[in-house]
Structure 1
Amino acid sequence: MSAIVHVVESFGAGTLSMVSAIANAQSQDGHQVTVIHSVREETPAGWRDLFVPAVNCIHLPMQRAIHPLNDFRTGRALFKWIASIAPDVVHLHSSKAGALGRLVSLAWALRSDGPRWFFSPHGLSFLQRAEGRLKNGIFLTIEKILAGVPVTFIACSKSEGEEIRRHLSGNVVVVNNAVDLSKIPQANALTPQSPLPTPRRLRIGTVGRVCLARNPEFFAEVASKMASDSLEFVWVGGGEASGEAALRAAGVAVSGWCDRAAALAQLATLDIYIQTSRWEGLPVAVIEAMAAGLPVVATDVVGNRDLVKNGENGYLAHTPDEFVAHLQALSADPALRRQLGQQAQAFALEFYSLTPMMASLYAAYGIAPTADKTPKETQ
């Protein structure tokens, strides 16, 4: 049995989905798993239910913004927890936990008996297009400095791995994000009782938090340009007030926050899935949409471009007008929607299930996939 610690500040959305999936699988494989985490505004109230009972969760307040004094205190607390647990592996997730954890790892740098350290960015901070060149340059400089710490990067997509090698470090392995495919419902549009075409309004939508990274203003512009009695634009999720206001002003139906089961049920009612992200690592929501059998139109950014293959399972686009052109073509052609949706589903089933992801992760860690579960003799 190996002891594995996950450290995550970005405790919501896709990062939380991936951390819970990984931690649960590792625990069920017989390993001792601890998750040291913060809680954000977007952290769901029932987050503990996402983890199996055997996963030990430790709350450690971490701030997303840089705050030297608080960061020092948090780093000291993190050091104490890791020293007391004495894990074989420490896996850091997203920017803030990655920065704090890499600095803490220096305490073990000259020791041969310390844990092996890994860092998954889940979307590189310096690729955040909305932040501007100056701020992105600062993010890149910080990452270049931290890249000198001997920690192995784990990229969640091939394109993220290429960016890490280009800008930061050659010490990187790619472990694609994945989903539990058994929990993804089939899109209603692909079921036999839902013949195409249908008399109802065509539903075009996305699933996720309304936030800067997901670019709700871009989504709203696409919806405004395509306003029609035959189309319904839907955003399954809630979040930042300004983003929600922009969506509603464009006639988009915003569901507000809902739990995973409800979100997946809403996903199944869509006909076309769109992802207007400014940046990504490898979007879990897009994998889920593909697994449901939906064609996808997405921005041509890191992560999205690993999943969406033009004309095969969807389309990549750069501008609202390009989105509109692809969506109009799909809206007018039920057979094309079905064809691309079926090909998207086959693609997700072949490459993005949990089994290959966990095998790749264990190989990166250098530990056996399944722990020895033989019970110890009692005296």
Structure 2
Amino acid sequence: MSLIPVKPAAKIVHIVEAFGAGTLSMVSAMANAQAKDGHSITIIHSIREETPDNWRALFVDAIRFIQLPMVRAINPAADWRAGRALYHWLRELKPDVVHMHSSKAGALGRIVSLFIRGRSAPKWFFSPHGLSFLQRAEGRLKNTIFLTVEKILSEISCTFIACSPSEGAEICRHLSNNVVVVNNAVDLAAIPAASGNQDIVRIGTVGRVTLARNPELFAEIAGQLTQPGVEFLWTGGGDAHSEKTLAKAGVRLTGWTDRSQALQHLASLDIYIQTSRWEGLPVAVIEAMAAGLPVLATNVVGNKDLVIDGENGYLCENSADFVKYLNILIEDRLSRQKLGAQAKTFAEQHYSLDKMMASLYRAYGLS
């Protein structure tokens, strides 16, 4: 990746509790690029169940790490301890920029920011990476609580960084007009090309088997397409009950894999499907497009920024939509290739790391 001209080196602190999956991918991409551009980078983070064992290998050596236990759920005692420790670390580090990632880090960081003000205070930024109150499967009551908490916190001075235009629109609608869109991106050169299979059509996804990814819908789709010559693959692992549901529907699961293995599994597909209940801007979909795969995805925030009907894939409202479009693509290899080629071009034009970092530096005021 080419270096982006920026102002003199800054001290940048990233705070992240959701240290796994797409959030980890984006934090590592941002932090690595910033370190290579000469900035002083510190990451204050927790360890989650889904944090890979080799997470340190995802970052360049120049980055400093501070492990700070933060819990996902609301826990007054644990949150008080984490907030107090965060305050002391930020006082010691004296950063120019503080960038918070995902809900818990965003909440703790914004509260702590109330006590770190003045001329020498840092600039504060918050990336939700998927808005908590849009998580339909959590239920209306929980989402109302999440939205109420976010509305209260949005009164604290901070710039939201949305990872997609549709997430930015939701932030403006519900929380604040102080929002900048910085699209998620991937290292396009690191994505192996999907060459296509000759005797089968392999349909799959990459990611944790979890509520957000709606494995039940994936299993329902697979259960309706059990004809010879069609395979379904889920690269990843997670919730044991959902894994059983997928296996019962004939889906092959790889279990946990490292990133290089996951990308090889991605390249073995012919069609990529994303059955998410909610998203920010899914890194896995960008990677699938960069590999040259047509994408079928649920019509939710984030997915709808990437998938253009009939151009690089199809947006789907339910299992019937997925089955309808999959049947078309299973039967028509040329259509798969055409949509996949257009998806690759789309990813290259809009979702390179250079574009993401240029937008991020402008948001920080460092360009």
TM-score with structure 1 length normalisation?
Answer: 0.94
Residues 304-331 of structure 1 show CA distances to partners (whole Å, capped at 9, x for unaligned) of 0000000000000010111000100111
- In structure 2, the residue matched to 1:286 is 285
Counterparts of residues 121-160 of structure 1 (less than 5 Å): 121-160=128-167
In 1, Cα distance between the equivalents of 2:212 and 2:282?
A: 11
2:182 matched to 1:175? Answer: yes
In 1, Cα distance between the equivalents of 2:347 and 2:172?
A: 26
2:33 matched to 1:25? Answer: yes
Counterpart of 2:147, as a letter, is L
Counterpart of 2:332, as a letter, is D
Counterpart of 1:123, as a letter, is G
In 2, Cα distance between the equivalents of 1:279 and 1:182?
A: 28
2:107 matched to 1:107? Answer: no
Residues 265-306 of structure 1 show CA distances to partners (whole Å, capped at 9, x for unaligned) of 110000000000000000000000000000000000000000
2:70 matched to 1:70? Answer: no
Counterpart of 1:108, as a letter, is I
Q: 1:188 Cα shift? A: 1.6
- In structure 2, the residue matched to 1:207 is 206
2:21 matched to 1:13? Answer: yes
In 2, Cα distance between the equivalents of 1:208 and 1:172?
A: 28
- In structure 1, the residue matched to 2:228 is 229
- In structure 2, the residue matched to 1:88 is 96
In 2, Cα distance between the equivalents of 1:274 and 1:57?
A: 35
Residues 227-249 of structure 1 show CA distances to partners (whole Å, capped at 9, x for unaligned) of 11210000001111111111001
Q: 1:72 Cα shift? A: 0.5
2:308 matched to 1:309? Answer: yes
In 2, Cα distance between the equivalents of 1:134 and 1:99?
A: 19
Q: 1:108 Cα shift? A: 2.1
In 2, Cα distance between the equivalents of 1:179 and 1:250?
A: 32
SS at match of 2:276: coil
In 2, Cα distance between the equivalents of 1:243 and 1:53?
A: 37
| Alignment root-mean-square deviation, CA | 0.7
- In structure 1, the residue matched to 2:4 is none
2:46 matched to 1:38? Answer: yes
SS at match of 1:322: helix
Of all paired residues, the percent bearing the same amino acid is 65
In 1, Cα distance between the equivalents of 2:17 and 2:31?
A: 15
TM-score with structure 2 length normalisation?
Answer: 0.97
SS at match of 2:237: coil
SS at match of 1:364: helix
SS at match of 1:136: helix
Counterparts of residues 201-350 of structure 1 (less than 5 Å): 201-350=200-349
In 1, Cα distance between the equivalents of 2:35 and 2:340?
A: 34
The one of 111, 123, 127 aligned to 1:120: 127
SS at match of 2:167: helix
SS at match of 2:315: strand
The one of 193, 202, 206 aligned to 1:186: 193
Matched residues, number: 359
Stretches of structure 1 lacking an aligned partner (at least 5 in a row): 369-379
In 2, Cα distance between the equivalents of 1:134 and 1:24?
A: 39
In 1, Cα distance between the equivalents of 2:242 and 2:12?
A: 38
Residues 132-178 of structure 1 show CA distances to partners (whole Å, capped at 9, x for unaligned) of 11110110000000000001000000000000000000000000000
Counterpart of 1:201, as a letter, is I
Stretches of structure 2 lacking an aligned partner (at least 5 in a row): 1-8
Counterpart of 1:334, as a letter, is R
